[in-house]
Amino acid sequence: MPRLLARSAAWTLTACVLLFLGNRVLEAAHASAPWLRGRLDDVLVLPLALGAALVLHRLRGRPAAWTLPPGQVLLAVALLGLVFEELLPLVDGRVTADPGDWAAYAAGGGIFAALINRPAQGSRP
């Protein structure tokens, strides 16, 4: 099977998965740091979701050099912020809008764009 991710992208994606799972375990044990609670997941959601999308595209036949276009990464940031920070609080009283989450989504999009959205080694554009 050809490589689906560049080595550095695979390490970054693995680190994101481990951070997410570790944070979940700490939250379940009521041992997570207050500054991580509610923010780390917002930073990690786009590297995890878009990383999975990139791998799935390549598994479905896209060349190993193919990457998600920057416009799609920006669209993912915008849609996530719009749905979870603008629309959902209007219809569900349990949810509150947090402007800081927009920054977290943008940071996650940046992590994906800079560190994960890379051509796999040995691939040709």
Per-residue pLDDT in tens (0 to 9) along the chain, 125 residues: 458 899 999 999 999 999 999 999 999 999 988 878 779 999 999 999 999 999 999 999 999 999 999 999 999 999 999 999 999 999 999 988 999 999 999 999 999 999 999 998 766 65
Q: By C-alpha distance, which of 103, 110, 98 is closest to 47?
A: 110
Integer angstrom CA distances of residue 33 from 7, 27, 42: 30, 9, 15
Q: Which two tokens stand for residue 23?
A: 């944070």
pTM score, two decimals? 0.90
55-71 residues labelled b (16+ CB within 10 A) or e (exposed):
beebeeeeebebbbeee
Domain ranges of the chain: 7-116
